[in-house]
Amino acid sequence: MRQSPLARLFIYASVILTCAVLLFPIYWLVVTALSQPDQLRQLPPKFWPDEPRWSVFGKILEERPILLWLGNSALAALGAVTISMVVSVLAGYSLSRFRVRGGQSLGLFILTAKMLPATLLVIPLFGIFRMTGLIGSLWSIILAHATLIIPFTTWMLKGYFDTIPRELEQAAMVDGCSPWGALVRVILPVSAPGLAATALYGFVLSWSDYAYARTFLTNAQGNWTANLGITTMKGEYISNWADISAAAILVALPILAIYLFLERYLVGGLTAGSEK
């Protein structure tokens, strides 16, 4: 496609302008974090601090247990994703390959489950976890996150398995595998990229939860997840935006890193089922 130089210039300019505007909030976060706190109480705001305070990150890591928060988020995500993946891989495979009675209804249910607000399930789960003594434990949010993740990962995995030809299992069975053996020895190794992408998406889902963390973990400071920790900082620090911005950057870093390096896989998982 030949493009006139004018068109190319226009496109480049538009792209740069659009990216600048849309990513400005992230830039502003960085600027705020690096600014001196009293500088933030003055107008006009500076678009780059005179003396960027790089030490703010060290300071905030000492003052706040940010690494503990991140660790808890990671732990919860790990637990939730492991449980969810085991269950969804089996279920997704079953829905893809077998005509199960009630499979249609299960499909409809999973679709509905994807749309449920966390605020709906949080009430009964609160009651249940209260009764079983799980309030305050990471297990409460591991299970709660599983309710978020399983509907998505099951659907994604079913779609992914649909793209693998059935002849592969059939060949394995003729070669002497049981249907289970065919799944484990042939289909799973072949699906590794799809499984990884799905697990990654589940990880992001777990990480982004706030509702469950707030409800179940508020009184267990040692188990606070990153999202919960940040919001308590916002609650307290009505004035020290530099500190909270620095903390926010640290909390956002893991997911942003995952996004920047693995975007291809994440996006692939998102769009795989929907484009025809």
Partner 1 sequence: MAGGRFSLDLARPSRQHWLGYILLAPAVLLIAAIIIYPLFVSVDLSFQNVGIARLDQPRRPFTTANYERLFTSPDFWNACWVTLKLIVIVTSACCLLGLGTALLVNNRFKGRSLARLFVAMPWAVPEVIAVVIFAWIFDSSFGLMNWIFLSLGFIDKTINWFSDPTAAFAVVATTMVWKGYPFVSIMCLAGLQSIPDDYYAAARVDGANAWQRLIHITRPNLRPVLGVTTILVMLWIFRDFSIIYVLTGGGPLKATQTLSIMTYEQAFGFFRMGYASAIGVVTLIICVIAAKLMMSRAPENL
Partner 2 sequence: MAEIVIDRVRKSYGPLTVLKDFSLEVADGEFVVLVGPSGCGKSTMLKILAGLEEATSGTIRIGSREVTDLAPGDRDIAMVFQNYALYPHLTVAANMGFGLKMRGTPAETIAKRVQEAARILDVEHLLERRPRQLSGGQRQRVALGRAIVREPQAFLMDEPLSNLDAKLRVHMRAEIGALHQRLGVTTIYVTHDQIEAMTMANRIVIMRDGEIQQIADPETMFERPANLFVAGFIGSPGMNLLTAEARGGHAQLFGSAVPVPVGADGPVTIGLRPEHIAAGPGAMSFEARPVLVESLGSEKYVYFEAPEANRPPRTIARSDEDRRGERLIARLMNAGPVTVGQPVTLSFDPAKLHVFDPATGAAIR
* 194: CB partners within 8 A, 6+ apart: 157, 160, 161, 269, 272
Contact call for residue 13 and partner 1 (CB under 8 A): no
Q: Could you count the other beta carbons within 10 Å of the beta carbon of residue 93? A: 21
Contact call for residue 68 and partner 1 (CB under 8 A): no
174 contact choice in partner 2, partner 1, none (CB below 5 to 8 Å, kind-dependent):
partner 2
Least CB distance to partner 1 at residue 192 (A) = 19
Contact call for residue 80 and partner 1 (CB under 8 A): no
Q: Which stretch binds partner 1 (CB under 8 A): 54-62, 63-71, 139-147, 188-196?
A: 139-147
Per-residue tokens: 242: 């530099």
Least CB distance to partner 1 at residue 41 (A) = 6
Contact call for residue 172 and partner 2 (CB under 8 A): yes
Count of residues near partner 2 by CB under 8 A: 16
Query: How far apart, in whole angstroms, are the C-alpha atoms of residue 87 and residue 17?
Result: 45
Residues 178-217 that bind partner 2 (CB under 8 A): 178, 181, 186, 189-190
Contact call for residue 165 and partner 2 (CB under 8 A): yes
CB–CB of 141/220 below 8 Å?
no
CB–CB of 70/160 below 8 Å?
no
Near partner 1 by CB under 8 A: residue from 69, 72, 154, 198: 154
Contact call for residue 8 and partner 1 (CB under 8 A): yes
Burial class (CB in 10 A: 0-12, 13-18, 19+), 57: middle
Report which DSSP code applies to 276.
-
189 contact choice in partner 1, partner 2, none (CB below 5 to 8 Å, kind-dependent):
partner 2
Count of residues near partner 1 by CB under 8 A: 106
> End-to-end alpha-carbon separation of the chain, Å?
25
Q: Which amino acid is at 251?
A: V
Residues 108-137 that bind partner 1 (CB under 8 A): 108-128, 130-131
Burial letters 201-227, b for 16+ CB under 10 A, else e: bbbbbbbebebbbbbbbeeeeebbbbb
Contact call for residue 173 and partner 2 (CB under 8 A): yes
116 contact choice in partner 1, partner 2, none (CB below 5 to 8 Å, kind-dependent):
partner 1
Contact call for residue 102 and partner 2 (CB under 8 A): no
Contact call for residue 87 and partner 1 (CB under 8 A): yes
Per-residue tokens: 170: 């059939």
Q: Which amino acid is at 190?
A: V
User: Which residues contribute to the site for partner 2 (CB under 8 A)?
Assistant: 165, 167-168, 170-178, 181, 186, 189-190
